[in-house]
Structures are given as C-alpha cells and as structure tokens.
Structure 1
Amino acid sequence: MDNRIEWARKRDELVSAIEQLGFPGELGVQIAGQLGSPKAMDRMLAYLYNVKPGTAELIVDEMLAICSDIDSWHNKKAAEEANAKYNELLYYGLGTED
C-alpha cells in the first residue's frame, strides 16, 4: 500500500477518535502531523481508545511522550551504528599499512 494513503487513513482515524472524545478535529490533524508515521499514530490511537483522556493536555502529553520515544530510538540506532563502525576500525585498522 502507498505510504501516503496509509498515512492519510491513520490521520483520519486519529481525527475521528479525537472528535469522538469531544475535542476539535484540528487537534487531531496537528497531532498526526507531529507524530509523522502511521505506527506512531497507532500508538496514539491505542492510548485514546484505552485511556479516553479528558483533557487536551493529556492528549498532547502522550503525543510528546511518543515523539520522545521515537527520538530516543533513532538516537540509539545512530549510536549503535557509530559503535559498529568504530569497532570495525579497531579490528581492521585504517588500511594504510604497506
């Protein structure tokens, strides 16, 4: 499936879930934009369906927590990649020997 179509479907589902809780749809549009991926929106939807937060602040707080988790994961993967390159350098050296 085209990622743009999947993203749009998840955005619409997120907007609908937020509207069902009594909040404006624009909040859902903004949150979807901040989350950025269908997988992140799925996490937010699970929160909305299970917790049913009563304030917009709780919704935004959860969005920030999800974004923080994603950033931490990206940082961890970047550090692992850098560590692997460093270990490769230590093992094989610079390759400048004659």
Structure 2
Amino acid sequence: MTENQIEWSRKRDELVSAVAKLGFPKELGEQIAKQLGSPKAMDRMLAYLYNVKPRTAELVVDEMLAICSDIDSWHSKKAAEEANARYNEMLYYGLGTEDEES
C-alpha cells in the first residue's frame, strides 16, 4: 500500500469508529468515507462529529452532502480559473495563426 492509501485507510477507520460511537451503524460511516473520498474531507467530517455530536443520521448525511458540495464548488472554481488563465493567454499572445509579414 502507498502512503496515501494508508492515510485514507486510517481516516476511514477513524470516521467509522466516530460514527459507531455516536450510535449509528458502521456501514453509514463506511459509505460516508467512500463519498467524501479524501482524508482532508474526512477530517472535516470528523471535526463535525466530534464537536456537534449529531443525534440523527439525517444530520450526519446532511453534513456529508454539504462537505461534498463545498469540494465540488472548489473544483469548479479552480477549473474556471484555469480556463480564464488560458483565455487571457490567448488574448495576449493570439492564436498563432496569423501570417507574419515582414
């Protein structure tokens, strides 16, 4: 296993344990970990679980969806910034198809 896989596995186990300690099924924690997908996102979820201690599964899932939405928004923002940078390069340098006449 790579270092990233080990870290992901460790965070998944911590998340599953935290969900189980709140009285929810371990399977819920496993599905949440799978949906979040990254150790950083799982850290955000863990912070929520430890600080808020939600009483219903709906609150847990709602927070997971909010975290996923934030991640999707961040990805969209980065893609838009990249596209804008490429567009600005094209405006500045042109398409490179003009015939240069000297």
- Give TM class, smaller chain: over 0.9
Aligned structure 1 segments of 4 or more residues deviating by more than 3 angstroms: none
Count of residue pairs brought into register by the alignment: 98
Shift of the alpha carbon at 1:61? 0.1
Let me know the Cα RMSD of the aligned residues: 0.8
Structure 2: runs of 5+ lacking an equivalent? none
Aligned equivalents of 1:60 and 1:88: distance in 2? 42
- Rounded to whole Å, the distance in 1 between the matches of 2:78 and 2:71 is 11
Counterpart amino acid of residue 97 in structure 1: E
Q: Could you give the per-residue CA deviations for residues 54-83 of structure 1, whole angstroms, max 9, x where no partner exists?
A: 000000000000000000000000000000
Q: CA deviation at 1:5?
A: 0.5
Shift of 1:96: 1.4
- Give the corresponding residue for 2:33: 32
Q: Provide the C-alpha distance between the structure 1 equivalents of 2:97 and 2:33, rounded to a whole number of angstroms.
A: 50
- SS where residue 71 of structure 1 aligns? helix
Deviates more, 1:68-77 or 1:88-97: 88-97
Unaligned segments of structure 1, at least 5 residues: none
| AA aligned opposite 1:23 | F
Equivalent residue runs for 1:1-98 within 5 Å = 2-98=3-99
- Aligned-residue offset at 1:94: 0.6
- TM-score normalised by structure 1 residue count: 0.98
Aligned residues: percent identity? Answer: 85
